[in-house]
Structure 1
């Protein structure tokens, strides 16, 4: 338990009283063998949301119901909400700490009026609840404490101005296309419940680099957009017959049966607006993208008795890559990750081609690649493998990404390395090659892998490349493929749809392999090596 060792700024944000979880601290939440203990618990949060996009001014207007299930052993007098887009508001900790990425200017952000606006929260009895904004969080004071085992329904209203992704390297926003059309991507776009777990509330502010800590739940989301738009989203489309033309619907049904189809192309007819309805179960987030300029291709891949609808959405500029390789890259990723870990658990897997940061969400990822030539092809296919692979880490095997960047990025990059090799032995590998360790290991700016995400100065080198290379060395030089693969699958299956920590990973790998790996963890995860000589394996090779 580390509740009383928080930084001063985090204590201010949380208002957390040390000792609140004294009941939980005595429980056996996590076993010594790296598996969930008999007293393991986690919260569950369901959402039913209506949202409308005005593409002319890039504004999302939302209303919704959040049903919060308190599975913890203590009563909760407050519920914290995550408002990640508030990192762009003037005076935010993100701006103060200089984490805003290049091209973002204070003048633009002031004009754009970013962040969650006009937030109102009422309880199930219609009472307006007190909301206190604290940087990228909102503290919601409940009328009565929510007892252990009880649930409460909160009614939410809010607005969000989406930002221009060419000016701000934001995960959410819009890309302006030639000809006046745009692609809008809604990510971190609604008030999401903050995590409350056996280590307390997760309230590290969102500074832009360290990513997310989220609760699982079920989602029903209705998205109203202009009639000529196509919507890509987390989950299953429930009303295809009412939002698609007859021929589009026929093609979608054909794709679901496993036949590759171009479901829709730009220039869809229709006046007014249409309401697209989606359902997603057992996920930790919900994201959508919408545009009148999407090409929409779909097919299906069979994994055992389970069929997954695969989809790519891209503008004309991405057609040469996404139209040719997109569906095959998704299918290859689903097969390979499923074989190495556990079967893909959801009915849909989609990718959206949009400029800006590539990013992962449940059942949907984004990637910007539209270039020409061999390198662009490798980058695009590798990007698909990476983002779709995130459906295992952290979308299924949950973790606190803001605390442990490598626990999802490094694990995905490690598996990605082998999935890319299975696509093509000569694949242009980016992450995880042990022979490239000298690019980071031993440099003056190297930091331990256990460094919190927002303190990393070279996040890609550290949490992606170095972490994946370390795991490849553990597999190749220490345990051997058979032992490693068994232990790695043991960890993944033990923590599927639960929240793991780095210590859980270390213990599960030791239990699964039957080996004491403490020297390896100390050297590769907790320490910094200033030369290439290793105590654990024979050189960096």
Structure 2
């Protein structure tokens, strides 16, 4: 079938297959161009990595009306979808995603993962073993055309095909309606991204409404319909469009959502609306809904209802939060000349952390990402505390809760800041630069984690970034081969998902920026990729090609090694040879010869005889001493001096400059033990205590990918050599990186898992101790 021809989608292949150009050779493999491993350029996608002159993509607009039943935890909705066929292909059916069916007891994803028992089991782990129960999953009430006439449809787990009454030709649009309902799941027990969290202390719910409505799958030039099932891991490939959403909820609920609310005057109190107006120009977060108001609402259970109306333009999805237990703060944030409302929604348990940090972290993230990619184009960016970590256009769900006394650990604070940056950052990848998350998780998670790392470093130079620095990926890259897979592999097939889809690509990009390309070339090319593919559907080839096209740096060797193989970096400094020039200076030569002579005649027996006061025969009987007994074999004669003077006079000016420089030559031999070729970064420590660093391009390996020898000329004598001193190449074995060899201590960590909700305060809490 056509999809199988697209090689990027099936590159869970072996290193041998990738390096088949010159098997068995020590060259002609790792530096060969990717060639047919990338899809053939065409009128839709150019060889430069830019959209082609006939690039197209589909569009889907939504008008949704939904109602939240707080008593039954049930969501009911009806939507009108207008689908635009911008492709050159006639379509006879449409595919919609029913992602909520991941919770359906009959779905394959409830059973196809292996399981095992352990001494300690969580409720969530047990629930995965027990036969699925409960009336979960999306219930389709009816599907009709714009006039109310029924349309035939077929549901295949998380996908629904609607058969069109007539072929939808290129350039045409089609409007149809879907009515549905489903019971919201307790995501704290069943898992998943959307659902509810129940708070028994105040008997209230926090609803995160995500993947909640039937929505169009992507139909693209490179694979047709993306109708791969949603199993809970690989995220979403979605079509851009415009949204109008009316959400009917209890009157005391606060709703935050994708887009801009159209009726704040109707749903907020006069005081809240006045604070909202104040926030439009405030440089500090303003509590639109205060903590006191949220606490009072916890004690109510309003029978009345309100409808919040939101609109969003040119987005790929829509999500919302609804609860009566929410504080809401907001402030105006300047981003590249535009005003964006940075906002946060959170419960009382998160107030000590979120009130101080969340909205300001949102603002910082928008500014940092806009600098490194494209200016943030949307009017709103929201962070919601929901003991979670998930992203949608203009809204994301994060974690970070304090202890009951209001204190929190430093690890909780830093974890919260990191997850807010990460989830807000997803607005750029993939909400705007809209890659296919179902096929290539790294294109959104990896690129976003890389940008997260840059934003973290711009937040605080001492921020303990967990992903991005090269040395942090080492433990993953030296795992057993059967626990690894290339970055270029489908989401559902990854064993170590976090290291593979997040950390390794983020590390690779950081190495590209700091070590291989340099910041200037990398930053220009990375911004060009974001600019080219904003609000479009890029593939890995588009990214690879753009980075090279905009920088004039051949990176095929880098993509091949880091993204298509599981090879680690392990470059060993094997030998060091020191050479100085034989300048025929008799004084210098004879001094060196004396050192060698003394070393040659010395040995342990001689030293111990001397130390014991041995009476040597030639000392006791002086008649045994002759000319050689007193001869200075290393003295400089007049004949020696004359010969040297003649030698020096015969040198050319260039030779005299080289001779007088007294250069030291060091021949270093390196071996590639890991397989992944990388630049050589050599730090020299001289006898006078000073240091300098040489950086050699990875191309030094192109003629011998297994071993290279390189000579370096130095003005001063070297006493130590360190390979990769700043740990910027992810070398998995640093014990062979130094001369002389230096031993490093090994470490282990003792820890236990937290049993609280995701983001609950954990770790050492000096704040609590100080409070006592």
The separation in 1 between residues aligned to 2:497 and 2:141, in whole angstroms, is 33
What is the CA distance between 1:91 and its match in structure 2?
2.5
Cα 1:124/1:99, change in 2 over 3 Å: farther
Aligned-pair CA distance for 1:85: 1.2
Shift of 1:308: 0.6
User: Which of 135, 139, 151 does residue 117 from structure 1 map onto?
Assistant: 139
- CA 285–234 in structure 1, closer or farther in 2 if over 3 Å, else same: same
The verdict on how the C-alpha distance between 1:412 and 1:79 changes in structure 2, with shifts beyond 3 A counting, is same
Note the C-alpha offset of 1:135.
1.3
Give 1:75 shift.
Answer: 1.1
Distance 2:41 2:51 in 1: 15
Give me the whole-angstrom Cα distance separating, in 1, the residues matched to 2:367 and 2:4.
44
For residues 568 and 189 of structure 2, the distance between their equivalents in structure 1, rounded to whole angstroms, comes to 38
Whether 1:434 and 2:470 are equivalent positions in the alignment is yes
Task: Please state whether the residue corresponding to 2:110 is helix, strand or coil.
Answer: helix
CA distance in 1, matches of 2:352, 2:530: 36
Shift of 1:107: 6.2
How far off its partner does 1:96 sit? 2.9
Instruction: Answer whether contact 1:441 1:532 (CA < 8 A) is retained.
Output: no
Deviation at 1:2, TM superposition (A): 3.7
Distance 2:225 2:140 in 1: 24
**CA apart distance, 1:26:** 10
- Once the 2 structures are TM-superposed, how far is the Cα of residue 104 of structure 1 from its aligned partner? 3.4
Alignment of 1:321-470 (within 5 A): 321-355=353-387, 357-371=388-402, 372-444=408-480, 445-470=483-508
Corresponding position of 2:319: 287
- Provide, for residues 76-110 of structure 1, a one-character-per-residue CA deviation record: whole Å limited to 9, x for no partner: 10011100111221231212312897353476842
Change in 2 beyond 3 A, CA 1:31/1:99:
farther
Cα offset, 1:327, TM superposition = 1.1
1:466 and 1:26 map into 2 onto residues whose CA distance is 27
Q: In structure 2, how many angstroms separate the alpha carbons of the residues matched to 1:305 and 1:397?
A: 21
Unaligned 5+ segments in structure 2 are 11-39, 116-123, 403-407, 572-675, 681-728, 732-772
Q: How far 1:451 moved relative to its partner?
A: 0.9
For residue 475 of structure 1, report the CA deviation from its aligned partner: 1.2
**CA–CA distance in structure 2, aligned partners of residues 96 and 510 of structure 1:** 43
Alignment partner, residue 17 of structure 1: none
Matches within 5 A, 1:69-468: 69-98=84-113, 102-105=125-128, 109-111=132-134, 113-177=135-199, 178-198=201-221, 199-259=223-283, 260-264=285-289, 265-266=293-294, 267-268=296-297, 271-355=303-387, 357-371=388-402, 372-444=408-480, 445-468=483-506
Query: For the Cα contact (< 8 Å) 1:443–1:530, is it kept in 2?
Result: no
Alignment CA distance shift 1:74-1:172 (3 Å): same
Of 88-97 and 338-347, more deviation after overlay is shown by: 88-97
- Structure 1 residues 524 and 231, CA, compared in 2 at 3 Å: closer, same or farther? same
Matches within 5 A, 1:468-483: 468-483=506-521
- When the two structures are superposed, what TM-score results if normalisation uses the length of structure 1? 0.93
Pick one of 24, 28, 33 that aligns with 2:48: 33
Q: How far did 1:540 drift?
A: 2.5
Q: Is the CA contact (8 Å cut-off) linking 2:47 and 2:545 kept in structure 1?
A: yes
Q: Secondary structure at the match of 1:166?
A: helix
Contact persistence 2:198–2:205 (CA under 8 A):
yes
* Counterpart in the other structure of 1:535: 677
1:516 deviation in Å? 1.1
> Separation in 1 of the partners of 2:97 and 2:342?
30
Residue 759 of structure 2 corresponds to none
The whole-number CA distance in structure 2 between the counterparts of 1:540 and 1:287 is 38
Cα distance in 2 between the residues matched to 1:540 and 1:26: 33
Cα offset, 1:403, TM superposition: 0.7
In 1: Cα distance, 2:570 partner to 2:463 partner: 26
Q: Are 1:54 and 2:69 an aligned pair? A: yes
1-side partners of 2:679 and 2:271: how far apart?
A: 59
* Structure 1 residue 304 displacement after superposition: 3.4
Supply the distance in 2 between the matched residues of 1:129 and 1:6 (Cα, whole angstroms): 33
More deviation, 231-240/303-312: 303-312
Report the secondary structure of 2:133's partner residue.
helix
Deviation by residue 1:421-448 (Cα, 9 ceiling, x = unmatched):
1110010112111011212113121210
SS at match of 1:185: strand
Deviations 1:230-278 (A, max 9, x none): 0010010110000000000000111122353111131348650000000
> 2:558 is paired with a residue of what secondary structure?
helix
Which ranges of structure 1 fall in alignment gaps of 5 or more residues?
11-24
Change in Cα spacing, 1:414 to 1:74, as seen in structure 2 (3 Å) is same
Aligned-pair CA distance for 1:522: 0.5
